[in-house]
Structures are given as structure tokens and as C-alpha cells.
Amino acid sequence: MNPTSPTASTTRHHTIRRTAGVAMTAAAILAGSVVAVAAPAAASPHPAPPAGGSMRDVAQQMLAIGNPGYLARINDGRRVSKTVAGVADMATGRALRADDQFEIGSNTKTFTATLILQLVDEKAVALDAPVSTYLPGVVPNGDNITVRMLLNHTSGLFNYTGDPKVLALMQNDPHHDWTERELLDAAFAHPPTFAPGKGWSYSNTNYTLLGMIAQKLTRSSLADLVRRRIARPLGLKHTYYANPRATDTGPGYAHGYAIIFAGGTPKYTDHTGANIGGWAGAAGAVISTAGDLSRFYSALLKAELFSRAQLRQMKTTVALPPEFPIKGRYGLGLIKFDTPCGTAWGHGGDTQGHHSTTAVSDDGRRTAISDSTGKAGDLAPNDGITRWTNAEFAAQKVAVCHMLGTPVPGSLVRELHGTTP
């Protein structure tokens, strides 16, 4: 049962018919309709956002920038609304559904942080203990890097997905069987970004190590820990850790596509079935749905998964650098977002084929979950990837406005449409 008790909504879906292969053009994708359905509810005390900032408009823009599909689920504390557009499978033209499963990418970090904080409650882990306490001899300078530094990205450890050889192998051989040792070797081949605790830099390496700590202390796999400690207690029936690949990829599962914009016409590669549990692991290998993620993040901010003391620790934040695309602060696997419509907590997630976002109000009563079934994959800057990135970040802010029941500023609508001066 959802603790906010929204009225159930029924979402109608559309279908896009096609005959071309996987390299379907963005123009063909845009032939699809956008469906947005909300549950009946009492009138909101807040003015409605302008038409240009509606979630229907967001979905249209997400297709316009090249995504095969887009879905969003928003609980504003009074009702649940679902918006869906485009396709879940470009090869068959199967329509995306608002309740489809998808790769949640780095939203997984919040799951991993939750597991660690549960172990803190159990006195098995101390946040300010050095990593070498739990993984002796594994991490260079591990005596000076704490568990907290791994959780909030202040360790200075190089991000293995920033290694050119790792990136090339991820793109050219998505089914490569990665090992934790392989990823750590790639990370530790690079010097630290800064001394422990002396800066902030996003690093998947931190969460690979956290996953190793959780598995070592519990003598359980991450798949088992996510199932036993999070999914089962919360009744998340469609959430699991890919071990190492997604196992439920039939109807009801959204394929994910890498989009290459170089050359002017977007090209698509289906990365469904890639070894996400290998290269992403504890940093990004959970599969879920918008509904399950809403339940998880709501429970998180209500301290249903660990003590209030650990929630305070999770919400203890450090500043994000000015150049980071998200404005706000980073806690322990949780981001505090600053938007034109107010503050929210959550995370974001990218895999080779998906870009997802999560947001939740401070009291856990409101949530906004979205997923684009495309991820810009160009390594070199170009107009397509710039437009895609700017619109995606604007879309998340618009979703937060709807979640908080606040009118969407015109400047944000222009940002979404790429018309900001």
C-alpha cells in the first residue's frame, strides 16, 4: 500500500507502427501520440502550471530530442498522474507503458547506500571508519578514506567509467563479463582526483567498493540483499538487482537505446540484455518501475528502511561543484536538488540506453519518477548531445514543479524547448 494513499489511476497506451530496422529516425518516433492520464482528485490549492510546462509537453520534447520513449509518474500528494510517449521496443514498435520496467542506473546508489546504513544501524559498519577496516589491502590509501567518503563522493578515487579503455569496451562489447577487480584495476591505474575529503567528484568506483563491503559483511549477494532488505519489505514486486543481466525483458520491459547524434541523423543501438550487473554493479544495476521507485523513495524519506538517525546521516550533505549539471548538494547516496520550484531529494541514473530521474519531497509524501528510453552516447560534443542534455535536465525540473504543485516558470519552459537566450 502506498503510504500517501493516492487514488488509483488508469493509463491508456498508444502504439507506434513502423517497418524500418533499429536505426529508426527521430521523426518516425515523433509520429507517436502522448498520453497523460491523472486520477480524479479534489482541486489543487496551487495554480495549474502553464500549458507549455505540462507533462504532455515534456513528453513531446523528450521525443523531439531523439528519445524512443518517455514515461513519468508524479504523485503530488493528492493524486497520481502518469505520462507516457513513444515505444518500448523499436524493433517491434511495441508502445511504452507507464508501468514498464527499466534500468534505473545510478538511482541504484540510493539502494546501495540504504544497505550500508542498515548495516550501520546493526553496528556492523561505522561511517567514519577507514575502508581498510572492511577491505584491507584493496584500496590505495584506504587507511585515509572512510565509508562516508565513499557514500558522498569525497574519496577522490578515480571514476572507472572515465577510463577510455573501459568506455570503449562498454560500447564495443556490451556483453563483456566485467569483474569488480577489473573495474577497480582500471580506477586505481589513475591517480586520485584529490586527497581524501578535500573535494567532490562523482565516482562509480566508490559504490563498487560499498557493494563489496555489504556483500562481505553479510555473506550475501547484492541481488539477495536488494531482494531481502528492500524489495520484499516494501512490496516492490518489479524491482531487482540484475545479476548480471536483466532477466525480465519481455512485454512490460522497456528496451534502452544508445543514441549517436554525430552525422545529423540519430542512430540507435539497443543495449537491452547487456551485462549491466558487471559494469554498473552496486553503482547502477537495479531494474525497477516508476511505481516501485515512488514507493522506495517515499519510504526512504519516512525512515521506513532504517532509523531516523541514519536518515539524518543520509541527508547530511556536501556542496556540489559549480560545474556539476545539477544544482544542489550531495548526501549519502541522495542528492538535494535546488530547482526554480523548490527543493527535492532524489538521484539520477544513466545506463547505456536509459536516462532516469527520481525526486521526492522532504516529508516523503510527493514523488516524481521519469525515464527516457534513450541515452546520448556521443563521446565528442555536438549540437544533438547538447540539446539532449539540456532538455533532459529541464524536464526533471518541470517534473519537480508538478510534484510540488508549483507553476512552471516560463524560463524553465524555454529551457525545455531549447529557446533560452
Half-sphere exposure of 163 (CA within 13 A, CB side): 23
Amino acid at 45: P
What residues are paired with 338 via a beta bridge?
Answer: 343
Q: Is the peptide bond before 244 cis (omega within 30 degrees of 0)?
A: yes
Question: 370 catalytic, yes or no?
Answer: no
| CA gap 107, 273 in Å, rounded | 19
HEC readout, the chain = CCCCCCCCCCCCCCCCCCCCCCCCCHHHHCCCCEEEEECCCCCCCCCCCCHHHCHHHHHHHHHHCCCCEEEEEEECCCCEEEEEEEEEECCCCEECCCCCEEECHHHHHHHHHHHHHHHHHCCCCCCCCEHHHCCCCCCCCCCCCEHHHHHHCCCCCCCHHHCHHHHHHHHHCCCCCCCHHHHHHHHHCCCCCCCCCCCCCCCHHHHHHHHHHHHHHHCCCHHHHHHHHHHHHHCCCCCEECCCCCCCCCCCECCCEEEECCCCCCEEEECCCCCHHHHCHHHCCEEECHHHHHHHHHHHHCCCCCCHHHHHHHCCCEECCCCCCCCEEECCCCEEEEECCEEEEEEEEECCCCEEEEEECCCCCCEEEEEECEEECCCCCCHHHHHHHHHHHHHHHHHHHHHHCCCCCHHHHHHHHCCCC
Q: Do the beta carbons of residue 301 and residue 311 sit within 8 Å?
A: yes
Phi, psi at 336, each rounded to 5°: -100, 110
What residues are paired with 69 via a beta bridge?
Answer: 86
* Nearest Cα to Cα of residue 86 among 77, 96, 76: 96
Q: Which residue out of 54, 106, 201, 288 is catalytically annotated?
A: 106
Which cell goes with 407? 507553476
Q: Which residues are catalytic?
A: 106
